[in-house]
A and B are shown apart, each in its own frame.
Chain A
Amino acid sequence: MFGFGVLKGMLVTIQNFFASYFSKDHLTTVQYPEERLSAKERYRNFPFLVYDQAPEDPRCVACDICAKECPPKCITIVRDSDAEGKPLKRPKSFDIDYSICMNCGICEEVCPFDAIFMDHEFELAEYGRFEDLMYHKDRLLKPNDHFKKIRPTDATRIDAKLAAKTQKPAPPVGN
């Protein structure tokens, strides 16, 4: 009936007002810094490097594939070498410029050694625009436990894969 829609609407709003004091459904705001929603497992943000035992011994072998594949070219890797100048299978420095990284996750996809993964960390605000967002090896390296915590499904799959690999003898080189 003409004119009664107004009353109906007013009823709806006042119900919402009172319900906001009693029901969680009617006050859905999450008070962010104090409360937070848990991130979804497949959420991805910026890449980090995984190490198994010690940060001095990362999984990364400095093969440079990720640096080549990275679309905006924000990964810079310098391979380490021993005293005689023989190259070693580990990075001397591994830098990712988070200010350039576009969170595409290609580095994770292409890494043949499962050494780089996308993190859930998103509170990355810094004062320095260039120097502070340039993440060096020390800030990028995180233990495998961290990976297990944020992405358990992927972590178990990859751990199983790695374990199987170490048990099998190295496949014969094709002739």
Chain B
Amino acid sequence: MDQLFVNLKHSILIFAGNFLPEWAVILISILISVTAIAVFGPVTMMYLTLLERKFVGRIQNRFGPNRVGKWGLLQPLADGVKMLTKEDIVPKGADHFAHFLAPVAIVIPALLVFAVVPFGRNMVAVDLSIGILFFLALSSTTTIWIFVAAWASRNKFSLLGGLRSVAQMVSYEIPMVLSVVPVLMVVGSFSTVAIVEAQSGWNWFVLTPWGLIGFVLFFLTGVAEVNRTPFDLPEGESEIVAGFHTEYSGMKFALFYMAEFMNSFTISAIVSTVYLGGWQGPWLPGWLWLLIKSYALILVMMWFRGTLPRFRVDQLMGFAWKFLLPLALLNIFAAGVWLAFARPVNYLLSAIIVALALFILYFANRPDMPKKRVYRYAVE
């Protein structure tokens, strides 16, 4: 079971190798991987929308979509048909080319990062030696297209959304990268495959003191990166209409949505890869483990969405610069200490460092509550 998809691809290639030249077999091998990702990505996205609507619905004590097909399972298809048949409106003052380009281009990085996600043993499209770097770099280019969309719409709400997106990106990219650094230090490689292999046999990084903090940091900044609640300021419905996609309708809007959901999936998959042991796990096949872990993280994202209100801009910035960034730096120190000492001592030392860091940052970040005023001469 573990190697099901790998064997499937292998047998197709052997079959093709019987009557095709070698270069064609290589081409087919690439095509199979690409097709698998190009199908898996959008299908995941479609059903994530359904999952989210059901989950948030249950949180709000209602059913969520349950009319189209059993349990609403055909709802994503119905939505797809609706999106495709909707009128595509482009504002008169918009930059038509950029307005068209942004939603198309935003999907590309979202799909490309699938390439470095190790779905199982031997199940990675390309084992890049700079896998994590590739992921971090590509996933942050999404913001460029969000800003292009915002700028091209020629709408003040769009532009505000785009500006917020850039500001958020700049702040959260730093703790995000820093939160992966401990893992890179310990593993000594950027490759996602190597990172998973370093966690074999229940050596998941999340089970170390620095790993726990790193996991939370990476996950939170990841949520911020994909603009999901409570970090969804770029599209804050209650403040700036719909933010950067105010002027988008029909399939172009759907593409933004697709990029957002695929990014949520990849960020969850990468977080599980880096901190939760990736496809490692007992009994079940590896690819299933990765899916279970990433879906669990996605459910947590949806849980956030069902619970938390949106951050204010200053809270958002304060959280990144005053809490996440110093914590990430101290976490790297804790990981260094963990590496430098022998087994039982290092856990203790890094736990102390992490706990101290949390304690100090917690109290340093407490909001300044104005004291309750006492009116000495006022009459009751």
Rounded to whole angstroms, the CA-CA distance of A10 and B63 in the bound complex is 19
Segment 57-101 of B: residues with Cβ below 8 Å from A? 58-63
Indicate with 1 or 0, residue by residue over B288-330, a CB within 8 angstroms of chain A CB atoms. Answer: 0000000000000001101110000000000000000000000
Known: A13-B303, A14-B303. A6 touches B61 (CB 8 A): no
Known: A3-B362, A29-B63. A20 touches B307 (CB 8 A): no
CB-CB < 8 A to A10: which residues of B? 303-304, 307-308
Min CB distance, A19 to chain B, in Å?
Answer: 8
Min CB distance, A173 to chain B, in Å?
Answer: 64
CB-CB < 8 A to B362: which residues of A? 2-3
Min CB distance, B62 to chain A, in Å?
Answer: 5
Residue of B nearest to A25 (CB): B61
Rounded to whole angstroms, the CA-CA distance of A9 and B230 in the bound complex is 13
Rounded to whole angstroms, the CA-CA distance of A17 and B55 in the bound complex is 7
Residue of A nearest to B60 (CB): A16
Q: Does A27 contact B (CB under 8 A)?
A: yes
Min CB distance, A29 to chain B, in Å?
Answer: 5
Min CB distance, A46 to chain B, in Å?
Answer: 28
Q: Does B366 contact A (CB under 8 A)?
A: yes
User: B308 and A9: CB pair below 8 A?
Assistant: yes
CB-CB < 8 A to B61: which residues of A? 16, 20, 26-29
Q: Size of chain B's interface in residues, with CB distance under 8 A?
A: 16
CB-CB < 8 A to A16: which residues of B? 58-61
New A-B pairs, 12, CB < 8 Å, besides A2-B365, A14-B303, A29-B62: A2-B366, A6-B308, A10-B308, A13-B59, A14-B59, A17-B55, A17-B303, A27-B58, A27-B61, A27-B62, A29-B63, A31-B63
User: B367 and A2: CB pair below 8 A?
Assistant: yes
CB-CB < 8 A to A2: which residues of B? 362, 365-367
Residues of B at the A interface (CB closer than 8 Å) are: 55, 58-63, 303-304, 306-308, 362, 365-367
User: A20 and B58: CB pair below 8 A?
Assistant: yes
Rounded to whole angstroms, the CA-CA distance of A12 and B60 in the bound complex is 11
Min CB distance, B50 to chain A, in Å?
Answer: 16
Rounded to whole angstroms, the CA-CA distance of A159 and B365 in the bound complex is 75
CB-CB < 8 A to A28: which residues of B? 61-62
Residue of B nearest to A23 (CB): B61
Min CB distance, B173 to chain A, in Å?
Answer: 23
User: A17 and B58: CB pair below 8 A?
Assistant: yes
Q: List 21 A-B contacts (CB under 8 A).
A: A2-B362, A2-B365, A2-B367, A3-B362, A6-B307, A6-B308, A9-B307, A9-B308, A10-B307, A13-B59, A13-B306, A13-B307, A14-B59, A16-B58, A16-B59, A20-B58, A21-B58, A26-B61, A27-B61, A27-B62, A28-B61
Residue of A nearest to B62 (CB): A29
Indicate with 1 or 0, residue by residue over A41-76, a CB within 8 angstroms of chain B CB atoms. Answer: 000000000000000000000000000000000000
CB-CB < 8 A to B63: which residues of A? 27, 29, 31
Min CB distance, A13 to chain B, in Å?
Answer: 4
Rounded to whole angstroms, the CA-CA distance of A2 and B60 in the bound complex is 25
Give the top 5 A-B pairs by smallest Cβ distance, nearest first.
Answer: A13-B307, A20-B58, A13-B59, A17-B58, A17-B59
CB-CB < 8 A to A31: which residues of B? 63
Rounded to whole angstroms, the CA-CA distance of A12 and B366 in the bound complex is 24
CB-CB < 8 A to B307: which residues of A? 6, 9-10, 12-13
Rounded to whole angstroms, the CA-CA distance of A17 and B367 in the bound complex is 31
CB-CB < 8 A to A3: which residues of B? 362
Rounded to whole angstroms, the CA-CA distance of A14 and B55 in the bound complex is 10
CB-CB < 8 A to B304: which residues of A? 10
